[in-house]
Structures are given as C-alpha cells and as structure tokens.
Chain A
C-alpha cells in the first residue's frame, strides 16, 4: 500500500467529517437563530394552557332584600374518560373506587352514563373534604384525576319560587352552537322564569386565564396570566315578596291551582305561585333519569308553569268584561233591567241554564253582576256582536302575552269571527256562540296572569303597566294602551265588584279594615270538577293590589278561591300579627314536592 493512497483517503475522511459537522452546525444555526421565534412560540404553547373560568351567576333577591337564590361552591372529583378502560384494581379508577369505598359496578355504570361527548367524567359530585384531601395528597398516583370546584345554584326556598324564578340546567347543544362565544360545554343556563328571562345579566362573562402546565397537564405555574377577567353576573332584585309568596303558597297548599298578585300602581308581580311545584335545587345536573321521569309523569304536573301556561275558561269573572262591552256599545246602561231570570234562557230552540236553578227573578245590571246571573248575561250577550266582545277582551290583554319576561307564556284564546270561520267553518256557526262567551265559557281561554292583569286594569282604570318581575337593575315598565271604556263605566264595575265581596258571592274575601272588590267564577270543566276562579283588588276605593286565583277541580269560586284571596290580602294589609314577620330561609315542609 503506497503512501499516496493514504494521503488521498485521509483527505477524503477529513472532508467527510468536516462536511458532516458543517451541516450539523448550519442546521443548529437554522433551528436556534433563524427559526428561533417559531420554536419559542411552540415552547410557549407547550407549557401554557388556556383555562376558561366561569363567572359566578348573579344572585336573586326579593323586593325586601331577602336572598332567594344564591350560589354554593362545591368540589367534584373528575376522572378522564380514558380511565374507564381498562379499570383493573391497580388502575387509577380501581384505586379511587377502593379508597373511597364505592360500589364498583354502580360507579362504572354511572360513569358510562355520562355524556359521550365529554372527556372529563364526574366520579364524585359534591365531594367531601376527606375525599378531596385524598386526591390532593396522592395526586401523583392518579394521573389526570382532578378536583374541580364549581358553583351550584342554591334555591333557598326550594319549590316556593319554582315557576316564577325557574331553575338552571346544563346548556343544550343547540344553544351552545348558536352562542359559542358566550357559553362553553357544561355551562349552566337559566331554563325557566326569571333565571331564563334575566340570563344575559345573571350569567356575567367567563374569564380566560393562561396557566403554566407540565407535560402531564398539571398546573405548575405560580400565577396565572389573565387574558380576560371574569365579570360576575349581576344580582337581580325581583318584584316578588318572600312574605306574600309564602302566605300565598301556604293558603293554596298542595292543591293544584295558581295565583298571581300584582301591584296595581306599578304592574309589579308581588306573588306568583303555581301548585304543585318542584324543587329547582334538584333540577340542574344531578337529577337522575328516574327522578326526571317521576316529575314528568306526576299527574299533578309539577313542571307545568300554570302562571303563564295553563289556560282555563275564565267563567263568571269574564262577566265584568261582557258588562263593559255592553255599556261601551250602548246596549245596556248601568241601571238596565233585562227580562227576569227564571233559571235559564231559551235560544235557538235550546235552553241555557242559569247556575241558580230556581232563578234570580228580577235583577238590575248591578244585581246581575253581584249574583253572577247567567240569564242576564245571556240576554246581554245576544245584544252584542261577536267581534265587539272579542275587542273588549283584547283591550284587557286577553289573547296576547302580557309579560315581557316569560318566553313560555301562552296567549290563550279570544274567539272572533275569523277564529270561528277558521276553526268551525264559514256559515257553520251562529251568534249563538255568544251565549257561552258572554258568561266566560266556550272557546274563550285565559291564563291566571292574564286575569290578574284584568283585575289590575279594572282597578286602575287601565293605567296599570304590564306585569313585570324585575325591579333592579333594569325595571321594565310597559305602559298599556288606554282602555276603550268610559271612566264611569269602569267605576261602576269596581262598585259592583265591591258589593260582590261586601254582600254577594265573594263574601269569603272580606277583610276587617280594608274594603275588597272582587268577582267569583266557577268554570265548567267537561273533564271533572269545576275550576274555581276569583279575581279581586283592594282597597276598593284606592286599589293597591290586584289578584287572580284559579283552583283546579275545586268547586265554586266563592267558597274555594275567595278565601285564599282573603288570606293573602290579610297578609298584604298586615291584618293579623301572626304573619307580619316573614321567616327567612325556612322552607315550609309541606311545600316540598317529593318526586315519587
């Protein structure tokens, strides 16, 4: 082997090594200097995780400052979905089940039932401090297991405000898709009542923070960087009164029915209770399928919001409107006497009975109202046109939504010519329908809150604003259209209603110190017992409060509904001392709806 070969190979070997190292250095320079900022961002992205921090939801107070709805902080123990498979005794899940003494199969079932969309499953909701301590202490053995605190909505009075204030529940897919910027999966959203109506204020705005994490995803940074601050939800003061609501609920008891009380001067809803109610505390999230089905299938329909969704024929309390329509059209005067009542009236070959079989005999207009004589109103009805009566009803808000807050409010039904043409058929109906409509039966349907508005509008000569549930931060005042009735006619109706309570069918609502004006009604119910109606306002001379009550399948309005009104008004006017002080934060035991 000659020396020349070696020199040549030595040169090649040197060159190869120099070139290889030059490539290494050039590449290093490219990585560390040329692309430095790119990789720096990558490193930052590696160690910074964005966390969304939910805003505490605004609390709800009553008009006297009593706290009705608050938030409670609880901690859940969360496991990642991948823990589910395989769940051997040495697995993370296996350890937790053993340490916590959980039932293995029940736990696995419960975890698997949780939404398949979620990556984080709640192993123990509302965990006890000792379990939280276990997870915090032994976290290293439990990769991915976290303690996550969340705020739970706390309804301090359980079912008392169930329908008026509503409840919160986990946001649905549709709402989430349409409001991606505001909500995230697992957020709670108001589902009914004030919770739903005031959602934009109550929810506040979630914050976003950046936390430094290690490769396992555990937060290791000392201090987060806030990208967007949490804006807590705004507290809401409702127009409801805890004291009056408690009194109303106590008077109604667990009988199915509904009552709404309004402040005549402002339209504020002072009390609104529907029975039976449900406990909003169990609604959001923790409700099991069994419990939910029990609520849905309960024959008392506790989930049904009778305040704004239940429709009934108004029966005799509608006679106030029939009278006003007759007076406005000049068909009768306040002193008119029609043919005497012999227990009924013949129309079109059919005999329409008065509720008093033996007949009222001779009555003037005021007497007919006080005695609620059907025969008088059959005759008055026949003097009216169908659309004339419908217009009078509409002037009070019947057939339309009266609140601005309740999205689930129904309109009820005020039948007019168009309605009959459409639903019965042109030429297939006659003015005879007025025989029923004029006494508040037939196709006429109203909600309890609509009838409270009728009472308030009569009491205020139409000046009462639309009912509202919110006092602060932004009170809603919607002034109504003026009533198309003359002041003396409205005053006459008020006087007739005063005398109805003083000496007529509404005597059960009388108070010692304050004069009450009211009208009873008994709605014929083809499916069972009659519904009892009562609407009233007080004081009769200078009304402050108006009230409408309907008790389902309960019998006569005078005997069933009027006493509830009397009881409520006693509380409103502080007539008896026993109830003058509301007992805050105490849920009457007899109001708790058990899902059975």
Chain B
C-alpha cells in the first residue's frame, strides 16, 4: 500500500498541494489508524492531515476522487461470455476449455485478454504501470510512449508472437483463436490508452499550466496575449501576496540592549520601581508611502496595468498609495482604483487620459501643481514610462523638485537601456534625477524592483 500512498502524494503535489515528508508520515499514521475500509472516513482523515488551506482542501477532494477510482475497466465477461457462469476469476482457474488452453499455452496476457475479469485486468495494468513509472508522466505527447511501455510490461510481445504462431499453425481452431486474441488485443490497447489518459489527468494536468506560467514570467508585459490576462492577474496577485507576507508583520524593531528608562520605570511601579521587567527602546518601522505615476499611452499601458495591479495587491504593507496616470496630461486615479477592481478600472482610466501624444513636461507640471503634497520625505515615487516626450520640453527642473522632496524616485522603463536617448527619448536627462532607473519589462523584474523598494523601508 505504501506505493499507492506515495503515488497519491505525487498526484497531490501535481495539483499544487504541498506535502512535506513530515506530512507524509502523518498520512501513513492516519491510514494505519483509519484503514481503507470506509472510503469517506479515509477521505476526511487524509484531508485533515494533508490539505492545509481552503484551496488545498478543494484540490485534495478532486484528486482523491480521481485517484481512488478504479472501476472504469469494463467487465467484459458479463457481456461476452455470459454462459461462463459465476466463478472466482483468477488466471489459474479460468473457464477456458482445455483445447483453448492448449493453444495459448501459459501466456498470462493471452489468458487475461480472453478471460480475465475487469479487476484482474485492472490489477495487471496497475502492476505494469508501477513498473513503467507512469507517475512520471508530464506531457501529453508522452501518452503514446507510456501506453506502449505498459503494454510491453504486460507482455504484449509474447501475445503478438502467439497470434502470429496461431495464424500460421495448421491446428484445429487455431485461426479462430487468433481472431479472438486479436479482438482481445484491441480491447487491451483501448483500456491501456484510457488508463494512461486518466493517469495523465492525475499527475500532469497542472504541469502544462506551470510551464505556461514560467513562460509568462519571462514575457514582455506589452506582449502578453489578452487570453493570458487572467492567468497573469493570478500570478501578479500571488507574487504580491508573497511580498506582503514577507513584510507584513515587521512594524517595530527592538534596539538590542538600549533600555527605555521611562517606560521601564512606569512598568515597574507596582514593584516599587525596582526594575524586574525591562523595556527596551524600539524604533517604529514606517510603512511605505508610494506614489505611482504611470504613462498610459499606447506603448506603456500594458506595463502600467501590471504595475498598478501589483501595487494595489500590496495594500497590506503599504500605508498610503496614490496613483496618477498621464499621457497628454495627468490625473489622479486613486479613487477609480480604490472603488473598482484594477482590471475594470484600467480601461476607464485609459479612456480618460490615454490615446493622446505623451507630453512628459505638461504631465510633470500637472503633478507638481496639484499633487506635490502627496510627496514627502517618506514617499517613494515610482514613475513608469518610456521617457519619450514627443520632442516637447521635458521640464527636468520639475523632476528635480520631486527628487528633492521624496525619499527616493524610481523610474521603470519598459525599453531596454540601449534605446534610452535614441530619438525623442529624454531618459538620460531624467535619469539624473532618479535614485534608480531600471529597465522593467517582465513580471519578474517588477517583483524584484518592488521587493527592493519595500526592503528600504523594512530594513532592520
């Protein structure tokens, strides 16, 4: 049974349920205690020992049902050899006539396809599947290969040889027997194919998904296919959540060994001010204040969407987040994004300010005139844009104002650095007023950069 459980863990892991060795041991103990007799009981007990979150409970239930389902092998005996009557079906005590027996000799597989019950067939296939390591299947294209492997392990070669021999043989009934065996072989193929399909579903369904996600992590934000939008949102959310948990709890930081005399005295008033309990000085950790200024003109809009989605998924760790969008001019978009999901808010924003030739100078002017209050010495300003200002005045003087007020200014540019400064790009001039100016084109970049930003706040 150990192998069964091990395979079950593998199937669970394929569905993103994390199972550590310690949990595997728990599961074994649970099974020892519960036994395999009561299916629902086993399911509940294993679920409690293995699934550790709401999503995992869902995945677990699905996987359990799929994994412990073995009744699909159709029982051929009932429809084909009804006259055989009830008997315990083992390969040894079959109801083949002696002449048949003589023809096929001791080939187990031949006996099985002619006469085996569904459960015999299932068992034999299961055994072969274990030998062939079917649990390693990852891709749809491997299905043929694994089917073949199972059949080989079951002794297909012998069966084919036998059929060939019988066809050539002059003996009585040999040709008819060959026909029956060929029928059986067809059935066997079909069952094996079905079996592999189920196994594939069990062990590899998520593998394709994972591959796709890995690919998306590296894809340029602008080039992401609309049909992957949902998947991307999930990825971004997940990354943001990881960052959020990483930084969520560090609000205070105790300075080791520096006594807070005032609070120590106060705490120990009850003990005649004799310092039994010591209180140490603490520094409060400011939560980040972030101002995001996004270019939403055609070329950069896609990246802006993901940056905003990322930032708004971080609300647990960011104290205030204000967002601005611009192309020809600049508006505040925090309201829109707070009342709506980012996915729905973005199109509305683009409609409002997008589709105009970008004017960085004018937009910076709008910002410094109306919203400069949002920037103080605890604020990180993140500007996302390609810095292509259509040959208008870049107003670097305003950039300096922002630079001097903010804790730091970070410029994210979807264009690679070699393009900065070519054509109407004002990037080299803006760069002088940024603490960090980086090329940011994939979700991975985004994750890395935002992690860096948070680090500057939460550094111990």
A and B held together in a complex:
no
Residues of B at the A interface (CB closer than 8 Å) are none
Residues of A at the B interface (CB closer than 8 Å) are none
